[in-house]
Amino acid sequence: MFQSNDPDAQAFTNPPAQPPKSQRQPRRDKIRVLLYGSLEGIDRNIKQLHTLSYADADNWSDPIPTGRPSEWMVITTKHLLIE
């Protein structure tokens, strides 16, 4: 097996220890959601996600053409609290 003579070379087999959940500080995380498809399909999906209270319909970008026939892309950013 290969062994390095470099004292700074370490192999981590276990992830760093996490503090107990009760001691962790909540943090905000940013998630980007992309939709690709026809304008009609994107519009319908945005309305469905709004109905589910997942993403506000007004927070999506304007449609951007992808270069493929009849395909568009929209994006929104959600901010989540991770506890």
The distance from CA 32 to its chain's CA centroid, rounded to whole angstroms, is 5
Are the CB atoms for 74 and 43 separated by under 8 Å?
A: no
In a domain, 78, yes or no: yes
In a domain, 40, yes or no: yes
What distance in Å separates the CA atoms of residue 79 and residue 51, rounded to the nearest whole number? 18
In a domain, 77, yes or no: yes
Q: What is the mean pLDDT of the chain?
A: 85
In a domain, 23, yes or no: no
23-49: average pLDDT: 94
Question: How many other CB atoms are there within 10 angstroms of residue 57's CB atom?
Answer: 13
User: So what's the pLDDT on residue 26?
Assistant: 85
Structural domain boundaries enclosing 47: 33-82
Query: Residue 23: which pLDDT band, with cuts at 50, 70 and 90?
Result: confident
In a domain, 52, yes or no: yes
User: So what's the pLDDT on residue 83?
Assistant: 81
